[in-house]
Amino acid sequence: MKKAVLLDRDGVINREIDAYIFRRREFEILPDVPAALTLLKKNGFMLIIISNQGGIGKGLYKIPDVEKLHKYLISYLKDSGITIREIYYCVHHPENGNCICRKPDSLMVEKAIARFNINAEESWFIGDKERDILAGEKAGVKGILMTQNTSLLNAVKKIPGLKLK
């Protein structure tokens, strides 16, 4: 079984703004993200992003808009030698019905665990909202709550036993 770090997207990987992010011009990757993800990679963690994208469910943007941003993100990180194994996202919004994939529910986390044979007990979910931590905990993954738009590297360094060099 493998260990993984699951990451929220907006506010953790890229700057959260006071609006839905679906255009490249609004998608600003936070400065220490490559260093933080490189450290996780060196420590043997698989990297997976799990994100609510309720703007799709509200009709504000479409799946191709999100896919375009994710393609850019994957390419940007690849230039730093970082591989994101998968990006799971929920297209639903509570205004338009209930689902079990939207965080704080855990379906996206459970899918990642099953698909990639992840050991939940050795894995972490880093997010900037309590719903991120709850989604991970429901699937047996420990959480690290960080302040939105701050240092992912500082959050990563909270993982016990992490070798920093």
Active-site residues: which are they? 8, 10
What is the DSSP annotation of 32-79?
THHHHHHHHHHTT-EEEEEEE-HHHHTTSS-HHHHHHHHHHHHHHHHT
- CA max distance for the chain: 47
Q: Which helix (H) or strand (E) is 7 found in, with range?
A: strand 4-7
